[in-house]
Structures are given as structure tokens and as C-alpha cells.
Amino acid sequence: MTDIVLVRHGETVWHAENRYAGVSEVELSPRGLQQAAQLATWASSAGLSAVWSSPLHRALGTATPCAAVTGLRLQVDARLRELDFGDGEGLTAQEMRERFPGAVAAFDIDPVADHLHGGEDPVAAVGRLAACLHDISESKPGCRILVVTHTTAIRLTLCHLLGAPLSDYRRLFPAIHNCALTEIRMTGRRPALLQFNVPI
């Protein structure tokens, strides 16, 4: 049994306009840096045994203070990165509707079967994400682990682990707040949701 605390990185400079960051490198905003510091304060007394992060800068900037205050080595795994949104990278939803309205309409109905052109297949993405979490869990039995990753990565992974249709990830989990806590208990291959989207 291993408890994994999934956290979306802190707010970025694209947050106000709600641009699709995906695999684009976007820096934390001043508020995002404050959120990372608050998360580190939580981490200092959370009983963590490991800190893992996506390799994207916004996740690393959030996870690094947590590793520092706990004295744990920050471990990075490329499988924890966000999905590539292809043609949608760097755009707002409105800009996408103006540029390729048909594709966005299909995406709104089924974001898995009709993911954005040029982007990563969500089915493949959840395969790498779930495999990473299972590897982390098996490497640290009986421990509590912080994993800093991304909003779509978390929503898809929750659907997969809890047995919900992947295509419902936007409906079931409409928002993952920056630096909020979502904790899952991995007991072999039988996960349980302990808390969801809890503010620090």
C-alpha cells in the first residue's frame, strides 16, 4: 500500500488567459511561486518519503521547494509530463474555435477519440502515466509520495485508475486547482481515492 499525492503545478503566466500549455515551457507566475512555497510548507510536515516531478519547468519549479524542505532528492520522470495538445498548444479555447471550429466541436464532445490534431493520444498518455505511478508505488511500499504533474494528466489518470471512461475526464473532473491535493492509495493494482482537489 502506497499513498500518492498528485498535485498540479502552481499557476503560470498563461493562467489568466487560460492558454493550453501542454508540453510548452511556461514559467510560474508570481502567484504560482507563492503557491509553490505554500505547498513546500505543507510538504515539510506531510510525512513524505519521496518527491517526484514532471520534467516541465512549471512542475519542477513547484516540486523543487518541496524536495528542499524535506531533504528528499527530487526525482524526475518524463512520463509525468502533460499531454501535447498539438495544434492547440499556446492557444486559448476561443482562438482554437476561430482557427479550427470543427475540430474543437468534436473535441468538446469526445476529447479522447477526437483529441486535438497533432497532439498526443490520451489513451497512450494514460498508459505512460499509470505505468509511472505503479512503478513509483511499487518502489516505495508503505510510503506517502508527492507527485507534481499537470491538470489533464491528473484527470485522465483518475479516470483510468477509478474505472471511469477516459472520454469523460473533462466532465467528471472539470477543474484541478493549482497546488491542490489529490491523494490516491495504491494497494497492488486496486487504487482508492482518499481526497480530491483539496486546497493547501
Rounded to 10 deg, the angle between the 30-43 and 57-70 helix axes is: 30
Beta bridge partners of 191: 186
82 is catalytic: yes
Tell me whether residue 98 is one of the annotated catalytic residues: no
Instruction: Residue 78: name the closest of 64, 94, 59, 65 by CA.
Output: 59
The C-alpha atoms of residue 188 and residue 171 are separated, in whole angstroms, by 28
Name the active-site residue from 17, 25, 27, 82. 82
* Residue with cell string 499531454: 83
Q: How many other CB atoms are there within 10 angstroms of residue 92's CB atom?
A: 14
**Marked catalytic residue, from 9, 115, 150, 160:** 9
CA distance 97 to 119: 16
d(C-alpha 57, C-alpha 16), whole Å: 18
CA nearest to 99, candidates 87, 113, 83: 87
Alpha-carbon distance of 7 to 115, in angstroms, equals 24
Catalytic site positions: 9, 82
